[in-house]
Structure 1
Amino acid sequence: MSGILHPSIVGLRVSVTIVHTCTIVLTSWRLWYKIIQQRWWWEDVWAATALAAVITSGVSVWIFSGTPMDSKPWDGPIIAYWLIMISFTIGLWSSRLSMMCSIVRLSPPTRIRTVACCSAAAFGAIAIALLIHKCWFCARNHDWEEIAPLSCSLASSVGITQVIADFLSDMTLVVLPAQILHQVKLPRNQRILFLSVFSGSLMTTLLSIVHVVFFIQADPILKILTAQLEMAFSVIVCDLLPIVTCLYKVLRSRDLDLSHRRYPTESMFLTTFVDIPSSDSHATAELKFIT
């Protein structure tokens, strides 16, 4: 790969810092918003876990890149590399678990909720399996810790397995919300809004494919950069549902206030909430759109 297209250490640091800062701000706001709204649930626990992984990963990237790539690795970069690898898997799959928990909470007590619960369990199992395999392989082969540039080169089959898992999980995060919309009466604009939020997870699959390309090529800088972008984007997507819902409510409230001021006595406006029917008391937290 040409040096023009290959990012430098400074480029890696700047890119990761900008992307992770945006992710940290959005996720922190999302958690603060859910706390003050008293709607904290399992999806927020996983979002907080993903936030911790993003922070850990960002700091580790700076430590890892603090030593020239062609110099002999020492304990600091080695530990940082381990943290980057572990936090990537935790952050990526925690964000997906957060989205799946949102689907569980919003789904009616039908077969969809059962499938969503099973999918959440599968997500957790996949994350644990990938994490154990990566740690086992890199811990068993210590030669990579003595070679510059520092990089634990996993088998290409691991990357392919990861892409397949990413694709299936992201498709699940799109198909299940689409099935929920079939059982709920929502205006067309709200249906598009709801489905678009979850469809953003498909972009994570595209980033995953790019990441695996450099994963197989064993390019340390591009492998870390694409992994950080994939994880950060996945966390941002899991934050979109509460953020977009809040913005939607604010904008709709302003429209209603403007209408009341324009027609104070001639018209009467009715504000209702569209809820997804569910036996779960938390099941209507996000789909309470003002109509």
Structure 2
Amino acid sequence: MVQWVQPSSTTNRIVTTILLGIAQILTLFRINIRRRANRLWWDDAWALLTMFLSQLLLIAMWIRTDTPGLGPLDESHSARIVAYWLVSISFTCTLWSARISLIFSVIRLIPPLFVLRRVSEWMAVIFFLMWAGSLIQKTYICASDRSWYQLSAPQCHLGTDVAIVELVTDLFADVVLAVIPIRLLAGVGLSPDKRRMLYMMFCASLLTSMVSIIHAVFLLGPSGLLEAITAQAEAGTALMVANVGVLSPYVYRLMKNGQDFDSQPYTYYPSFHSNGEVHMRRIPRTPSRTAASSVRFHSETQADSLLVSAMELQVPEKAKTEPSLAVTLESDFETQKSVVVYPTSSPTIWHLSGFLDWDDFVPYRKYATVTWLPTPSRPDLEGRFLSCPSTPFCHGERKEIEEKKTHYKTLSYRRSFSILARERRCLKYHICKFFFGKF
């Protein structure tokens, strides 16, 4: 029966070229979307590597099927043996590289403190070990018995052991890629349409398992190009599934907003509310070489610390003796104390005393305002600061300084935060910001 449904070399070329070509085009779209949004990460690097491996698979497939009489180059028998090795190796590498890209897409979505993130990182290591084990097994079987070199259409018969190993590892990996995101979404308050889209997007990895089962069936017998065409279809499906996590939210945003949310020159900050909702505040992004790159609060052992990261700050030596940065903490009900700090060329942690009572306001929205102050080195800026002696930082009543001159420019960055935000609130923010751009 298998021989009866054997496809021709031309059919193999057409199907493989279409599937892998579509997957490669989608990968280019994915990289462009992430590049425009300045959100390139390791999952994109793995996707790009997968695309290159799929190109190698496509080229090797054309050489392998380039038999005398079919063309176009009428490759020699030895060249087609080499091409089979390339097809076998590049197929395995394409398949597992796509899965590693997908698991990294899940990892970047999970907040660092979540246990599920560490589980996902270990899954990435296990995927890599499965990748290496599959390559070693195939190479050993085909290299130990080279009788297939003498066949008119060179193809190594991998047998039952390889089919079982491939089927088990494929099912395990694809189930993991579906279960971890579903577990991540459990208990997160999302609208039904968003939840359905995310479930469908994450469960798309099971499509690869369906093709993998068909491929394993034909791998058990001398199925020739039928085994090859299902293998190449599995590789193309894996690459397309790896891109679904980026392309689906992009299309969703275009349909809902008429434009890509992440492509606009705005910065979005979250605010956490007592009912578990997280709202995004949209603020125009002002290009500046002297902008605080991050403001982050955390609470450990009942001590709140402020991390002001100014990696891009370039300050003259004489300006380092002047207070140049003001940080103001405030809630919806009152304004707390401010602090003036000195700029440094590396991230600095300032411990703020007197803010322990803020633990009582955890369910409410809070802000951290970072403002560059007028200093001898920055006379074109206005802002708010404290009257205090020349010490690294001080506390006191906030005084607002209003410059009389016009056209003064204030660089102020507001970050909404919750010192002890619940994991569910943080997770909802991560998911909605990552996939939908907003709530």
TM norm structure 1: 0.86
Task: Say if 2:242 is the partner of 1:93.
Answer: no
Partners of 2:425 and 2:109 lie apart in 1 by: 7
The aligned runs of 1:102-251 (5 Å cut-off) are: 102-108=105-111, 109-251=113-255
Q: What is the CA-CA distance between 1:90 and the residue it aligns to?
A: 0.6
Closer/same/farther in 2, CA of residues 117 and 48 from structure 1, 3 Å limit:
same
Any idea what SS the aligned residue of 1:165 has? helix
Closer/same/farther in 2, CA of residues 141 and 2 from structure 1, 3 Å limit:
closer
Task: Say if 2:29 is the partner of 1:25.
Answer: no
Q: What is the CA-CA distance between 1:285 and the residue it aligns to?
A: 6.4
Q: What is the CA-CA distance between 1:4 and the residue it aligns to?
A: 6.0
Contact 2:2 2:223 in 1 (8 A): no
Which has the larger Rg? 2
Q: What is the CA-CA distance between 1:5 and the residue it aligns to?
A: 3.0
Cα deviation, 1:63-85, whole Å, max 9, x if unaligned, reads 0000159x997221111111110
Q: What is the CA-CA distance between 1:38 and the residue it aligns to?
A: 1.3
Contact 2:19 2:233 in 1 (8 A): yes
Q: What is the CA-CA distance between 1:213 and the residue it aligns to?
A: 1.1
Partners of 2:105 and 2:218 lie apart in 1 by: 32
Cα deviation, 1:208-258, whole Å, max 9, x if unaligned, reads 111011111121200110000011001101101110111111111139xxx
> Which has more strand, going by share of residues?
2
Contact 1:167 1:205 in 2 (8 A): yes
**Letter of the structure 2 residue corresponding to residue 83 of structure 1:** L
Q: 2:54 matched to which residue of 1?
A: 54
Task: Say if 2:35 is the partner of 1:35.
Answer: yes
Any idea what SS the aligned residue of 1:153 has? coil
Q: 2:435 matched to which residue of 1?
A: 287
Closer/same/farther in 2, CA of residues 224 and 78 from structure 1, 3 Å limit:
same
**Letter of the structure 2 residue corresponding to residue 150 of structure 1:** P
Partners of 2:107 and 2:425 lie apart in 1 by: 12
The sequence identity of aligned pairs, in percent, is: 28
**Letter of the structure 2 residue corresponding to residue 286 of structure 1:** F
Runs of 4+ residues deviating >4 angstroms: 282-285
Contact 2:159 2:221 in 1 (8 A): no
Contact 1:178 1:195 in 2 (8 A): yes
CA RMSD of aligned residues (A): 2.4
Q: 2:413 matched to which residue of 1?
A: none
Partners of 2:81 and 2:5 lie apart in 1 by: 26
Partners of 1:239 and 1:72 lie apart in 2 by: 34
Partners of 2:110 and 2:158 lie apart in 1 by: 38
Partners of 1:250 and 1:242 lie apart in 2 by: 13
Any idea what SS the aligned residue of 2:220 has? helix
Partners of 1:287 and 1:7 lie apart in 2 by: 40
Any idea what SS the aligned residue of 2:258 has? helix
**Letter of the structure 2 residue corresponding to residue 58 of structure 1:** L
Q: 1:265 matched to which residue of 2?
A: none
Contact 2:432 2:438 in 1 (8 A): no
Cα deviation, 1:26-57, whole Å, max 9, x if unaligned, reads 11111122122211111111111110111111
Q: 1:258 matched to which residue of 2?
A: none
Q: What is the CA-CA distance between 1:137 and the residue it aligns to?
A: 1.9
Closer/same/farther in 2, CA of residues 211 and 107 from structure 1, 3 Å limit:
same
What 5-or-longer segments of structure 2 have no aligned partner? Answer: 260-278, 282-423
Cα deviation, 1:143-167, whole Å, max 9, x if unaligned, reads 1112233111113111111101111
Q: Decide which of 71, 74, 77 is 2:77's aligned counterpart.
A: 74
Contact 2:43 2:105 in 1 (8 A): yes
Q: 1:84 matched to which residue of 2?
A: 87
Closer/same/farther in 2, CA of residues 176 and 2 from structure 1, 3 Å limit:
closer
Q: 2:327 matched to which residue of 1?
A: none
The aligned runs of 1:255-266 (5 Å cut-off) are: none
**Letter of the structure 2 residue corresponding to residue 44 of structure 1:** D
TM norm structure 2: 0.58
Q: What is the CA-CA distance between 1:276 and the residue it aligns to?
A: 7.3
Q: 2:426 matched to which residue of 1?
A: 277
